[in-house]
Amino acid sequence: MVIASHNYPETPRTGDPIEGLDEVAEKDAPLAYVLHAGTKRDGDAIVSAGGRVLSVTATGTDLAQARERAYAAVGRIRLDGSQHRTDIARKAAEA
């Protein structure tokens, strides 16, 4: 799933600090992964640099478990004003 910045898809706000990436790496790896898209370094910080900021994916014994793990990882990430869909793969996991 994609984590998008504030005001996406209009003019996205950039420069917002992204927190929680270390938590995902420590608590969810190797079962969940964060892929950077619209990010950049600002000193020691990672900040938003576009509309679609991060993608989060996960593995599991089935789709429902992978979906649960991905959403758990998304829940650890903090980006002011960010948004993400909450229905990704829901119907398929329920089937």
Q: Tell me the per-residue pLDDT of 41-94, one tens digit each, with 9 for 90 and over.
A: 999 999 999 999 999 999 999 999 999 999 999 999 999 999 999 988 888 888
Q: What is the pLDDT of residue 39?
A: 98
3-state secondary structure of 48: strand
Q: What is the pLDDT of residue 38?
A: 97
Say which CATH class 2-94 falls into.
alpha beta
**Region class of 80: left (phi > 0), else alpha (psi between -120 and 50), else beta:** beta
Residue 29: which pLDDT band, with cuts at 50, 70 and 90? Answer: confident
Measured distance CA(75)–CA(69) in Å, rounded: 10
pTM greater than 0.85: yes
pLDDT for 22 beyond 90: yes
